Amino acid sequence: MSAVLTTPDLRYIVVRGRLWRRANPDLPAERREALVGRLMDARRAVKAAKAAERAGEPDAAAAMKAARAEVDAAKIGLGERGPVWWRDGAPDLNRHLVRNTPYAAWFAALSDGEPEP
């Protein structure tokens, strides 16, 4: 498994050339752990709802909607979605291609867009 590539300002990770907002580093450890646990539970609920859909269960759509809402709520709590956690007025570039952002020159300077081993 390769190291996670993080922007110099520590706001985003880069996955396949796309920026993804990191969790708020100022969250207390206990709060972060609780939210990550909630997120993992919600992701398991999404998986179960998908299986229910494939099985043709009648409540699968409602279960999926609830599970995805829980994923969203956990990600908002972590700071990965919703209002940005930084306070300098910089825009949210979540899900933007790095090459189309102010991080383009930094990213291009990396070897093949990946960190050195």
CA atoms of 32 and 60, how far apart (whole Å): 29
Tens of pLDDT along the chain (117 residues) come to 468 899 999 999 999 999 999 999 999 999 999 999 999 999 999 999 999 999 999 999 999 999 999 999 999 999 999 999 999 999 999 999 999 999 999 999 986 655 544
Q: Which residues of 33-57 are buried (b: 16+ CB within 10 A; e: fewer)?
A: eebeebbeebeebbeebeebeeeee
Three-class SS state of 105: helix
pTM of the model: 0.84
Per-residue 3-state assignment (H helix, E strand, C coil) for 48-89: HHHHHHHCCCCCHHHHHHHHHHHHHHHHHHHCCCCCCCCCCC
